[in-house]
Amino acid sequence: MLFVLLFHAFLKAKEFGGRIDLASAVVDSFKANLPVKKTGGKGRKHKSKDGQKPRIEDTIKVNVYADNWFVLYVNGEMVAVDSIKFIPHNVISVNLLPKYPMTITVMVKDNADPQTAMEYKNSNIGDGGFILKFSDGTVTDSSWKAKNFFHGPIGGNIKKPQVSRKEIPNDWYTVGFDDSAWSNAKEFTEEQVGPKQTFYDTDFKGAKFIWSSDLKLDNTVIFRKRISSPPNGTTPKQFPLLDD
């Protein structure tokens, strides 16, 4: 080993025309041949001095079924968007890291032509329907707030269809939005909504289908609900690292 180090030192000295201290060259050569200490690797634990980091087990499961499309916000942040605009009807399931109190806001749209509020090339009046369940016990029911913003065809007149609209507030999805003047949602049965097989393949136990007052003629509905703590009685975990 010593011979190898001296040989490397000699080459280095020769490279610089002999103008190099031999002892320094030996030290440099020795350092260059030291084994490299590995860092990281499988199984290494990363601990934070400031608090516990959340794990996937700390999330809750979110199941959503909408006739026909939805966008979901929780505490002012977008959580899920329906990937299919019209049909086939589908269920969207995602994981969510909850933070209480939790404000849930959802915009749901039944498929409807903007001018006639009808579907299938203006040959039919559609109907809506929305249901949601979180694994913390949160479910849709008549305690949710609901407001319609697109109605038609007025009076169900399909020969001369007309529509009415209300302007959707820009901040409808925010935590601080005032929905105190909104009516409560209305519950509907499975028979009235007519969900497809994907609904029955997913856990919606305890949840109710909801809409505004008119399941057939109201086409764009916004729902809001504030959850103070987990309805199933579990104690929510705190993660100081994620606090604002």
- Here the CATH number for the domain that contains residue 170 is 2.60.120
pLDDT greater than 50 at residue 163: yes
pTM summary value: 0.79
Query: Does 151 lie in the same domain as 117?
Result: yes
Task: Specify the number of domains making up the chain.
Answer: 2
Residues 6+ apart with CB under 8 A from 140: 130, 131, 132, 133, 185, 207, 208, 209, 210, 223, 225
pLDDT score of 236:
86
pLDDT greater than 80 at residue 199: yes
Q: Give the pLDDT confidence of 77-103 residue by residue, as tens digits.
A: 999 999 998 999 999 999 999 999 999
Question: Which residue type, as a one-letter code, is found at position 155?
Answer: G
**Is residue 168 within 8 Å of 222, Cβ to Cβ?**
yes
| 78-to-13, 137, 177, 223 alpha-carbon distances in Å | 65, 20, 15, 14
Q: Give the pLDDT confidence of 53-84 residue by residue, as tens digits.
A: 899 999 999 999 999 999 999 999 999 999 99
* Strand (E) or helix (H) holding 132: strand 130-134
Q: How many CA atoms lie within 13 A of 213 on its CB side?
A: 6
Mean pLDDT of the region 224-236: 96
Reference 188, options 137, 129, 105; nearest CA is 129
**Is residue 185 within 8 Å of 140, Cβ to Cβ?**
yes
Q: Which domain holds residue 214?
A: 56-227
**Is residue 154 within 8 Å of 177, Cβ to Cβ?**
no
pLDDT score of 28:
53
Query: Does 205 lie in the same domain as 141?
Result: yes
pLDDT score of 242:
74
210 found inside a domain: yes
How many Å apart are CA 40 and CA 131, to the nearest integer? 45
241 found inside a domain: no
50 found inside a domain: no
* Strand (E) or helix (H) holding 4: helix 2-15
Query: Does 114 lie in the same domain as 80?
Result: yes
pLDDT > 70 fraction of the chain, expressed in percent and rounded: 78
* Residues of the chain by 3-state class (helix, strand, coil), percent to 5: 15, 25, 55
Query: Does 181 lie in the same domain as 142?
Result: yes
Tell me which of 153 and 21 has the higher pLDDT. 153
